[in-house]
């Protein structure tokens, strides 16, 4: 199994308190053998001035998913996982009010780096953003 830490949604979501993730309303909703899912509202916290989902909010969702996932893959008493590089392609606009769902899957789990692919979908399961995050293990 990919995960080294027990997967408890309540514990993982409690870690969001006082973070950007909490400010943006990000909530982890599901773990699978090799994936992690989180949602984020499309509302006044996450839109640009024209009412569509802000690309930076999509990137924040993607980095939150990938960074948390990496930390669940290592012994956190010995290692910390931090974002090293991220990119995103914004494919489709999402208007408020709505919710988007991000699904993170590993492309590479190494000793010093992890690479995650995060796909973000709208409420009708259309792809709205695809991101790749490289995480450094320190």
Positions marked catalytic: 63
DSSP output for 71-123: HHTS-TTT--EEEEEEEEEE-S--BSSEEEEEEEEEEEE-SSEEEEEEEEE-T
DSSP state of 15: T
Q: Which two tokens stand for residue 135?
A: 């995480």
Task: Give the containing element (helix H, strand E) for 129.
Answer: strand 127-137
Closest residue by Cα to residue 16 from 55, 71, 72, 68:
68
Task: Give the containing element (helix H, strand E) for 56.
Answer: helix 55-72
Rounded to the nearest 5°, which phi and psi values hold at 6? Answer: -65, 140
């Amino acid at each position: 199994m990919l995960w080294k830490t027990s997967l408890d949604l309540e514990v993982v979501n409690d870690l969001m308190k006082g973070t950007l993730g909490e400010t943006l309303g990000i909530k982890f909703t599901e773990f699978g053998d090799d994936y992690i899912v989180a949602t984020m509202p499309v509302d006044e916290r996450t839109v640009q001035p024209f009412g569509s989902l802000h690309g930076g909010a999509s990137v924040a969702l993607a980095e939150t998913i990938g960074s948390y996932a990496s930390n669940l893959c290592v012994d956190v008493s010995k290692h910390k996982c931090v974002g090293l590089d991220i990119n995103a392609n914004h494919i489709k606009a999402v208007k408020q009010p709505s919710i988007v769902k991000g699904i993170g899957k590993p492309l590479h789990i190494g000793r010093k780096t992890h690479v995650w692919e995060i796909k973000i979908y709208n409420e009708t399961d259309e792809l709205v953003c695809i991101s790749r995050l490289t995480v450094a293990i320190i």
